[in-house]
Structure 1
Amino acid sequence: MKAVLATDLSAASEATIQNETCLDCLGRIGIDEIHLVTVVPSNVHSGMPGIDFEKRRERSIRRYRRVIEAAGFDVEVHVVRGTPHRRIIGIASTIGASLTVVGSRGKSPLENRVIGSTARNLARTTETPLLVNRIERGVDDPVVLKQHLFQRMLYATDFSENAERAFEAFSYLRHATQEATLVHVATPKDPALPEGVDPEQRLGELAARLEDWGIDAEIVVRQGDPADEILATEAAVNPTTVLVGSRGHSRLRRLLLGSVSEDLVARATGNVMLIPPA
């Protein structure tokens, strides 16, 4: 499996690359080839006053490549120019990536918050599964907040087709997952579910599948605003990653998993993994 690992060469985006546990987790789910991508914004050039970007970029990329290769991965490097999220999506599509990994917030040497905005844009438009890796904020030497990326998963579902597709990610995540909490949020704004679906029964069936894979699973049914209740569940069970589809079944925009996933990327305390539609 191939993964795109996007970096803006900041201390924040470096945290994942330098973290042995994070890299080990990627290896456990079957990633063996990592494409390291850094995007130079179109409005930045090496001749800008006070910017020694070319040398910084070369030093950082060499160091990152050594670390990733030492962890046992094949590595390809892509240095491109353009709009970050569009170029990342393009590269992921071209190489047939199974996963894109991006830091949740970063401040590049160019004084642009490249990765922070890129994560939000990728959440809206990604065409491959996206892992938004939560990095410590407000410090000079940040660390990854949840190093064991897939150890404890919180799976949120509205029982839509894409939510079911997100659940299928456990077919490879299970090699690194020990515990999972499955949550459905019922809301009076749009109470309709696919015909014949009983939330607790359906969650129980999904939990049984996880138990067959050796994953301890529990189910939770809540009522209220989907994003708020998913985040409340995250606070209660402390997962390492929230897993959700990036589209849902509801016709109401607020209930679309597209908008919920965007909220999760912005507000979750841990990592967020989004699965786009087929």
Structure 2
Amino acid sequence: MRILFATDGSQGSAVALDLLLSLPHRPEDRIDVVSVPVHRYVGAGVEGTGVFIAEVVEAEIADATRAAAGAVARLQARGVAGESRVAEGPAAEAILAAAGALGSDLIVVGSRGHGRIAGALLGSTARALARHSPVPVLVVRERREAPRRILVAADGSPDSRAAVAALASMPLVDHAEITLLYVARESMPPNMPEGQFADELRAAIERNERMDALETLRQAAGILPSCVTVRLETERGPAADRILEVAGAKGADLIVLGSRGTTLGTGFLQGSTADRVLGGAHCAVLVARAPVPVGDRPEPSALAASAG
């Protein structure tokens, strides 16, 4: 697996790097590092237009270079191959461009950044990457160790299958506990009749939904490596709420989900659900989407709007 680690030298990036270093890397794994300097306007130019101060720009580039080189040095000390680079431009666009050029299979970022090159990996940029990246994105929060309790929200949609496949391709610790969760719709179809017949119909619908859900979860389980322990669970209600509740109850240190999806025509893992999970989770979140044709990929302006 080829991983791209995006760093800004902040504490959030350090946590993400610690997690990467704790994974049981395989000989074929490679971790490249990219850092994006953020050039700030200093002073005032003609008609109030900000001007760059050369010394500040040079310092920002030097900070980014040191951040990338320092991360690569730590990785190489652990025997993990990779290269470092400094990428110019808006953070999300620059990171995605680097991922495309390197052929990355996964992008890893800290949830927030700060410092002189702050803004490169602020929460808004992590969200923009999660929304638009054609490759899976792992947003790391407080935990510095390889995940051992993983919650996977699976609904059988293309994005959900891509998320399960992304997890299966990652270097995972032996005997990691993976819970595959299917969240069914909260309410019955409209215009349901009343009375005993309605109760029987409702029960039949719920039985069929559960059977479909379990089949979806079994298919997802078949993708996962044999070194992990898998449990299947179903819930009912608002998707983001249930995912976060189950993750909290199980002490999950990683949540995995597709960026969009559908469940029985109701829209289980739509983008808003992925956004809510990403914003509300207290652990790392892996978001993936199904392959996107080149012509359908977002324009740079869309990335900038998401990161703004």
TM-score by length of 1: 0.81
Between 1:251-260 and 1:115-124, the stretch displaced more is 251-260
Q: Percent identity?
A: 28
Cα gap change, 1:253/1:116 in structure 2, threshold over 3 Å: closer, same or farther? farther
Moved more, 85-94 or 255-264: 255-264
Q: Does the 8 Å CA contact 1:3/1:31 hold for their aligned counterparts?
A: no
Q: 1:70 & 1:55 partners in 2: Cα distance?
A: 22
- Residue ranges of structure 2 left out of the alignment (5+ in a row): 42-51, 190-204, 292-308
Match of 1:118 in 2: 125
Give the Cα–Cα distance (whole angstroms) in 2 for the partners of residues 9 and 240 of structure 1: 23
Q: Quote how far apart the aligned CAs of 1:233 are.
A: 0.5
Cα distance change, pair 207–3 in 1 and its aligned pair in 2 (3 A): closer
Structure 1 gaps, min length 5: 136-144
Counterpart position of 1:239: 252
Q: 1:13 touches 1:115 (CA, 8 Å); kept in 2?
A: no
1:199 aligns with 2:213: yes
Mapping 1:148-167, distance limit 5 Å? 148-149=146-147, 151-167=148-164
Matched, 1:182 2:180: yes
The CA RMSD over aligned residues, in Å, is: 3.2
Give 2:181's aligned amino acid: V
Q: Which has the higher strand share?
A: 1
**Residue matched to 2:5:** 5
Give the Cα separation in 2 of the matches to 1:205 and 1:96: 28
- The match for 1:273 is 286
Shift of 1:276: 1.3
Match of 1:220 in 2: 233
1:78 is displaced (CA, Å) by 1.6
Greater Rg over alpha carbons, structure: 2
Post-superposition CA distance 1:198-237 (Å, at most 9, x none): 2134324544665x71422222211111011100000011
Taking the aligned partners of 2:255 and 2:24, their CA distance within structure 1 comes to 16
Measure how far apart 1:37 and its partner are: 0.8
The residue correspondences of 1:45-60 to structure 2 (distance < 5 A) are 45=52, 47=54, 52-60=59-67
- Higher deviation after alignment, 266-275 or 168-177: 168-177
- C-alpha contact (below 8 Å) 1:8/1:115 kept by paired residues: no
Query: In structure 2, do the counterparts of structure 1 residues 124 and 170 end up closer, same or farther at CA, with 3 Å as the change threshold?
Result: closer
- TM score, norm. by length of structure 2: 0.74
Q: Separation in 1 of the partners of 2:209 and 2:235?
A: 20
Going from structure 1 to structure 2, the CA distance change for 1:112 and 1:214 (only over 3 Å counts) comes to closer
Give the SS at the match of 1:222: strand
> Given the alignment of the two structures, is residue 132 of structure 1 paired with residue 145 of structure 2, yes or no?
no
Q: Aligned partners of 1:207 and 1:65: how far apart in 2?
A: 34
Distance of 1:36 and 1:231 partners within structure 2 = 30
Is the 2:151–2:181 Cα contact (8 Å) retained in structure 1?
Answer: yes
Q: Mean Cα displacement is larger for which, 105-114 or 234-243?
A: 105-114
Count of residue correspondences: 264
Within the candidate set 102, 105, 108, 2:109 is matched to 102
Q: Secondary structure at 1:243's aligned position in 2?
A: strand
